[in-house]
């Protein structure tokens, strides 16, 4: 159990004491867990506060309302996606983001269930839709650049334009994420490994296709 020093204290003026950024991240983790376990509709600020061991007032010090909290949670999720892509850009390993993506199915994390819940809310909440559209556009743009670089090195098939191949890769990842909360037993470590191996085959250079510097890939 957390000690008194680990639990946020609130002064009489409502201002929490301690590292603001650390406590904000802690509340986002609590929100992710509550949403994953109970769904978006049932996730209240009170439940998030209780899970984190804080008062509801402490939560509203950082997030004025549920919408603001969820928008921050979405931004945080996309920050993780961007970090995965940065790793792939540095190493040149196009499968690296998907390896990291798959590891998020670990039973100790609620990332996939919570994120799939929030993406579904984009149909009904304009503020969520704006975040999803803006951050997904950035994610696709970054991944397409990595795919294009790999095509130019000859490590990824170049018979499909980078932006189209990127859309297909993103759709596969999203599909896994959406199904995992519904069929968690199907996504065993062995099966997830098989999915990554199959992905490697799907994006591998096609035998006989033009090499980098040769005839341009067809549009």
DSSP string, the chain: ---TTTSPPB-TTSPBPS-HHHHHHHHHHHHHHHHHHH-TTT--HHHHHHHHT--HHHHHHH-SSHHHHHHHHHHHHHHHHHHHHHHHHHH--TTHHHHHHHHTT-TT--HHHHHHHHHHGGGT-HHHHHHHHHHHHHHHHHHHHHHHHHHHHTSS--SS-HHHHHHHHHHHHHHHHHHTTT-GGG--HHHHHHHHHHHHHHHSPPTTPPPTTSSPPP-
Q: 10 Å Cβ neighbour count for 196?
A: 14
Please provide residue 16's backbone torsions phi and psi, each rounded to the nearest 5 degrees. -65, 150
User: What does the alpha-carbon distance between residue 149 and residue 168 come to, in Å, rounded to a whole number?
Assistant: 17
CATH number of the domain where residue 95 is located: 1.10.357.10
**Which has the closest alpha carbon to 78: 120, 39, 115?**
115
The answer to whether residue 169 sits within a structural domain is: yes
Range of the domain at 96: 66-203
Q: What percent of the chain has pLDDT over 90?
A: 51
Count: domains in the chain: 1
The answer to whether residue 43 sits within a structural domain is: no
The answer to whether residue 162 sits within a structural domain is: yes
For residue range 174-195, what is the model confidence (pLDDT) as tens digits? 888 888 888 888 888 888 889 9
Please, what is the average pLDDT of the chain?
84
The answer to whether residue 49 sits within a structural domain is: no
- Asked if residue 73 lies in contact with residue 80, where contact means CB atoms within 8 angstroms, the answer is no
What pLDDT does residue 72 have?
Answer: 95
What pLDDT does residue 16 have?
Answer: 52
The answer to whether residue 154 sits within a structural domain is: yes
User: What does the alpha-carbon distance between residue 29 and residue 132 come to, in Å, rounded to a whole number?
Assistant: 19
User: What does the alpha-carbon distance between residue 196 and residue 46 come to, in Å, rounded to a whole number?
Assistant: 39
What pLDDT does residue 218 have?
Answer: 42
For residue range 42-78, what is the model confidence (pLDDT) as tens digits? 999 999 999 999 999 999 999 999 999 999 999 999 9
The answer to whether residue 118 sits within a structural domain is: yes
Q: How many residues does the chain have?
A: 219
**Which has the closest alpha carbon to 30: 4, 54, 65, 64?**
54
User: What does the alpha-carbon distance between residue 74 and residue 66 come to, in Å, rounded to a whole number?
Assistant: 12
The answer to whether residue 21 sits within a structural domain is: no
Q: The tokens of 148 are what?
A: 């294009």
Does the predicted model carry a pTM greater than 0.85? no
The answer to whether residue 4 sits within a structural domain is: no
């Amino acid at each position: 159990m957390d000690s008194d020093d680990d639990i946020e204290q609130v002064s009489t003026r409502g201002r929490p004491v301690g590292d603001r950024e650390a406590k904000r991240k802690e509340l986002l983790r609590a929100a992710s867990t509550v949403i994953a376990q109970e769904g978006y509709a049932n996730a209240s600020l009170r439940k998030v506060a209780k899970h984190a061991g804080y008062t509801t007032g402490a939560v509203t010090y950082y997030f004025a309302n549920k919408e603001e909290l969820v928008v921050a949670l979405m931004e945080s999720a996309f920050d993780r996606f961007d970090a995965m892509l940065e790793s792939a850009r540095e190493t040149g390993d196009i499968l690296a983001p998907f390896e990291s993506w798959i590891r998020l199915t670990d039973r100790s994390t609620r990332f996939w269930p919570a994120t799939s819940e929030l993406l579904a809310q984009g149909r009904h909440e304009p503020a969520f839709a704006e975040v999803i559209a803006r951050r997904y556009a950035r994610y696709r743009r970054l991944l397409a650049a990595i795919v294009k670089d790999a095509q130019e090195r000859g490590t990824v098939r170049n018979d499909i334009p980078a932006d189209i191949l990127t859309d297909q890769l993103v759709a596969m990842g999203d599909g896994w994420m959406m199904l995992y909360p519904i069929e968690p037993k199907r996504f065993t470590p062995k099966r997830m490994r098989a999915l990554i191996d199959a992905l490697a085959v799907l994006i591998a250079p096609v035998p006989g296709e033009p090499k980098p510097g040769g005839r341009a890939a067809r549009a």
